[in-house]
Amino acid sequence: MAKLAEFHNLFPALREFVQMGKPVWGTCAGLIFLANKAVGQKDGGQELVGGLNCTVHRNYFGSQIQSFEAELLVPELASQEGGPETFRGVFIRAPAVLEVGPEVEVLADYPIPSNKVLYSSSAVEIQEVYRHSSIESVFIGMESAMPEKKVIVAIKQGNLLGTAFHPELTADTRWHSYFLKMVRDVGEGTSNTTVAVSEAASSSDRQTKYDLPIFR
């Protein structure tokens, strides 16, 4: 994405779009794109659009084969859109948000078990000790030194929304409805185009909801 945006000189237009206060939703790599800062990148890094006052760790959970699904607590989403208090998150070589500024609203996080090695440079070093150590007490001691923590996987700041997972791969459309309402709230009464989008979003609530399969 970054290479294509740079090749076609899209960054100035993308940054201007975000700075104008237009609603933007970034999922997975899109979340990285919208972050003000990214770590865990390849050599040379990548250019970012920015806008979300947060630090994102690229591929935080590991490589493609370490993709997974998990039930996430989403109280704000449930409050606004109804439905269950949880959402099935599909994480594919996913990033995670490590830090957020005071103006950023955390919409979902994910607990990391104490016995699960995190995907970071320090954790990789610990994993190497586990693999090569023959002293059981060292293994147990290091495992107990890794307390359970949570990483952030969904955030909102003003007109910007970011999710580390892929809501489009489930039958649950609440995140899409949530974002369409952000679009409506921003553009209501100011743009005929945005109003048309809002009306389409409202009418879609009256249409038949198709039960799409959940990604497995």
- In this structure, how many other beta carbons lie within 10 angstroms of the beta carbon of residue 141? 10
Rg (CA), the chain: 19
Burial class (CB in 10 A: 0-12, 13-18, 19+), 167: buried
Check if 166 is active-site.
Answer: yes
Q: Looking up tokens 């005929």, which residue turns up?
A: 192
The DSSP call for residue 47 is -
C-beta of residue 27 within 8 angstroms of C-beta of residue 165? yes
Inter-residue long-range contacts of 172-179, CB under 8 Å, 24+ positions, other chains counted: 172/83, 172/87, 172/88, 173/209, 174/74, 174/77, 174/78, 174/81, 174/82, 174/83, 174/87, 175/77, 175/87, 177/81, 177/201, 177/205, 178/77, 178/80, 178/81, 179/23, 179/25
Q: Active-site residue among 16, 71, 128, 168?
A: 168
Q: Within the chain, what is the greatest distance between any pair of CA atoms?
A: 69
Q: Active-site residue among 166, 176, 188, 199?
A: 166
Q: Active-site residue among 28, 57, 85, 99?
A: 28
| Residues tagged active-site | 28, 166, 168
